[in-house]
Amino acid sequence: MQENKIGKQTFVFHNEPNIIGAAAVVGKKEGQGPMSKWFDVILKEDTYGEKTWEKSESKILKKAILLALQNSGKTKEELDTILSGDLINQLMSSSFMARDLQIPFLGLYGACSTMTESLILGAVLIDGGYAKNIVAAASSHYCTAERQFRMPLEHGNQRPPSAQWTVTGAGSMILSNQIRDGEQMIGGEPAKNLVVTHATVGKIVDAGIKDANQMGAAMAPATVDTIFQHLKDTGREASYYDVILSGDLGIVGKQIVIDLLKKENINLDAVYDDCGVMIFNKDQDVHSGGSGCGCSASIFSGHIFKEMRQGKIKKALLISTGALLSTISSQQGESIPGIAHAVAVEGR
């Protein structure tokens, strides 16, 4: 019998799940940033024709899933389960999306770590033979997050330099136990097949930070812990990967990760970046960068997926990062627990 776990926290997938389709849908502001060419849909306005921000986010998530499904060559009837989550209470965006699509649904909450959480659990289901085709997805919306976690937009509250801007967007990936039917060509060359090889489930690391405007600093120690454990469990050096990408630490959190790992003699300078830093330009008035479930979800499902399909990135370690706070926990004076999950993806 093959061992499905190595080290302390890492799964190895012997029946490597294939990522056969992906799509990213983002808002207008995200579409004005440096990643714009990688997104499948950029909204002209963030209401997306709906009467509430919450309905808008659910519609964005649904659009990302349907586009990823179309990209994969699969039909809705071939899907076994949707694994998805968001930041709204009771997973409102994901739940109403699943109501519309009428596909078996498992709602997940890992705050902004939800995209890799859904990829890990989807890979486990496929590797174990419990499913053939899975949707892994996540979404967020600037306006829904501000209303729930901070202040309604109408309040006009001031944001300190360390604050981040919740990404309006969604990303979706289709995982399958088979490669996509028919050879696809990109730039005259056969497209690479992407597989999930390993996954490291993170543990909660609490740095004691209570300021909700210091999200990057709150999540960074958990990111460091997961990267360190992944490399230890797999016996790999950071240089094994072409890209190591964290979810939404922003400028502040990214630098903390770099500094803390250097103390462990791990240098990420050549391979490391953060989705929250990548998604916006410095002149877009987002302060420390992007955040939200849709941040890593849209970068993974847009930029990384397409670069890997072209063979420009061969091996990637994708890490979504989450701050597990709520409006109640903040009001009760609790600190902000951080979590980070990692998924290793390789092109074949």
Neighbours of 20 (CB within 10 A): 24
Domain CATH code at residue 142: 3.40.47.40
At 157 the pLDDT is 61
* Mean pLDDT within 271-287: 94
At 190 the pLDDT is 83
Query: Which residue segment(s) compose the domain that 255 sits in?
Result: 1-348
Confidence of residue 211 (pLDDT cuts 50, 70, 90): confident
Whether the per-residue pLDDT at 63 is higher than 90: the answer is: yes
* Mean pLDDT within 202-228: 94
At 297 the pLDDT is 98
Confidence of residue 165 (pLDDT cuts 50, 70, 90): confident
* Structural domain count, the chain: 1
At 116 the pLDDT is 98
Regarding beta strands 18-26 and 194-200, do their DSSP bridges make them parallel or antiparallel, or are they unpaired?
A: antiparallel
Mean pLDDT, rounded, of the chain:
93
At 158 the pLDDT is 62
Confidence of residue 164 (pLDDT cuts 50, 70, 90): confident
At 156 the pLDDT is 53
**CA dihedral (227, 325, 304, 290) positive or negative:** negative
Confidence of residue 287 (pLDDT cuts 50, 70, 90): confident
Residues contacting 49, CB < 8 A, separation 6+: 56, 59
* Mean pLDDT within 293-322: 97
At 289 the pLDDT is 92
Whether the per-residue pLDDT at 26 is higher than 60: the answer is: yes
Whether the per-residue pLDDT at 10 is higher than 70: the answer is: yes
At 313 the pLDDT is 98
Of the given ranges (57-71, 137-151, 298-312), which has the lowest mean pLDDT? 137-151
Residue of 12, 4, 10, 7 whose CA lies nearest to 195? 12
Whether the per-residue pLDDT at 1 is higher than 60: the answer is: no
At 147 the pLDDT is 77
β partners of residue 118: none
Whether the per-residue pLDDT at 155 is higher than 60: the answer is: no
Calculate what percentage of the chain has a pLDDT beyond 90: 84
**pTM over cut 0.85:** yes
What is the per-residue pLDDT across 74-112, written as a single tens digit (0 to 9) for each?
A: 999 999 999 999 999 999 999 999 999 999 999 999 999
* Mean pLDDT within 206-211: 93
What is the per-residue pLDDT across 175-197, written as a single tens digit (0 to 9) for each?
A: 999 998 766 767 667 889 999 99
Whether the per-residue pLDDT at 274 is higher than 60: the answer is: yes
